[in-house]
Amino acid sequence: MSQREKIRIGHSPDSDDAFMFYALAKGLIPTDPYEIVHVIEDIETLNQRALAAELEVTAISVHAYAYVAKDYVFMPCGASIGDQYGPLVVSKTPIDTLAGKRIAIPGKMTTAYLTLSLFQPNFEAETRPFDKILDAVQQDEVDAGLIIHEGQLTYAREGLHKVIDLGEWWYEETGLPLPLGANVIRRNLGTPKIREITALLKQSIQYSLEHRERGLAYAMTYARDMETALADKFVGMYVNDYTLDYGEKGRAGVRELLHRGTIAGIIPHGVEADFVSLE
């Protein structure tokens, strides 16, 4: 029997990522001739690893693609896209403006940071682990926090106030959904392998969508003490029609985000958004 080729897939421990990768993680779909190895890290760590082109397949922030495009290409499936919703800025007491404020952010390569910088270029960023940002706001260590992941659903129960929903703002500005996270695959694998591995990921997402309860039960093991109803809502926000394929609107959102980031000088050079074609 020939040895299977090891393909490392980096993804975050978030319930939406876990839901997407359920079938691959549990061996529910055949993966020959590949052996899939899951590498689970937070998104900013995955962004950093992508700079070194370490993993064959990885989740990254869409913002990070600007820095890794020479090595990676977007897979057309597996994206986390907010349609008129997205990362939030929250504060302990209501505030009118973010100009000049100290804001805790989950990393400078996150799409949330890029979008906030497009909305308000004048603020002082303080990088924190994403799961410590609500605490930093509560303890008055910062004026506001940029919230990604499940914090978007839990901030209110902690008595915090929404300053802005950046996905809502982006839609008002552009009429487009906000692409936050993406899966990318290394270009040097070559077109045949790229297409085969992309098809496997698409199958895994399709499997979870068709076996939602089982996929959600698996995702709950990564849900950081969230109750099932909340995890279900979060998965529903970010695993949707765009996740199986960006479609024209999703792709336009990616291009517009990278373009605006370049025009604003946040991204240092123009970048083409290349997508794997399965046809």
Among the three residues 143, 174, 205, which one is the final residue of a domain in this structure?
Answer: 174
Residue 63 catalytic? no
User: Strands 178-186, 80-82: parallel, antiparallel or unpaired by DSSP?
Assistant: antiparallel
- Cβ burial of 96 (10 Å; 0-12, 13-18, 19+) is exposed
CATH code (residue 68): 3.40.190.10
- Domain range spanning residue 161? 88-174
Whether residue 150 is found in the same domain as residue 220? no
Lowest pLDDT segment from 64-78, 126-140, 247-261 = 126-140
pLDDT tier, 1 (very low <50, low <70, confident <90, very high otherwise): very low
Q: Comparing C-alpha atoms, which of 276, 263, 253, 267 is closest to residue 83?
A: 253
Four-point Cα dihedral 160, 161, 167, 171, nearest 10:
170
Whether residue 195 is found in the same domain as residue 248? yes
Mean pLDDT on 243-267: 97
State both tokens at 43: 């998104």
Whether residue 193 is found in the same domain as residue 170? no
In the block, which residue shows the tokens 């913002």?
Answer: 63
Among the three residues 141, 174, 207, which one is the final residue of a domain in this structure?
Answer: 174
Mean pLDDT on 62-89: 96
pLDDT in tens, 15-67: 888 899 999 999 999 999 999 999 999 888 999 999 999 999 999 999 999 99
As a whole number of angstroms, the distance between CA 55 and CA 158 comes to: 37
pLDDT at 77: 97
pLDDT in tens, 128-158: 988 899 999 999 999 999 998 776 777 888 8
269 domain residue, yes or no: no
* The model's pTM: 0.93
276 domain residue, yes or no: no
278 domain residue, yes or no: no
State both tokens at 73: 């290409």
Whether residue 181 is found in the same domain as residue 169? no
Among the three residues 122, 142, 174, which one is the final residue of a domain in this structure?
Answer: 174
119 domain residue, yes or no: yes
Above 70 in pLDDT, residue 101? yes
Whether residue 96 is found in the same domain as residue 164? yes
- State phi, psi for 43 to the nearest 5 degrees: -65, -35
Whether residue 44 is found in the same domain as residue 165? no
Whether residue 73 is found in the same domain as residue 94? no
279 domain residue, yes or no: no
236 domain residue, yes or no: yes
Which residues have a Cβ under 8 Å from the Cβ of 53 and sit 6 or more positions away?
Answer: 68, 71, 72, 186
Whether residue 42 is found in the same domain as residue 104? no
Separation in Å, CA 158 to CA 35, 97, 151, 176? 43, 21, 10, 31
Whether residue 48 is found in the same domain as residue 116? no
268 domain residue, yes or no: no
As a whole number of angstroms, the distance between CA 64 and CA 84 comes to: 22
How many domains does one find in the chain? 2
Which of 149, 161, 211, 269 is labelled catalytic?
149
In this structure, which amino acid lies at residue 220?
M
State both tokens at 110: 């996150």
Whether residue 137 is found in the same domain as residue 62? no
132 domain residue, yes or no: yes
Whether residue 40 is found in the same domain as residue 146? no
Whether residue 34 is found in the same domain as residue 141? no
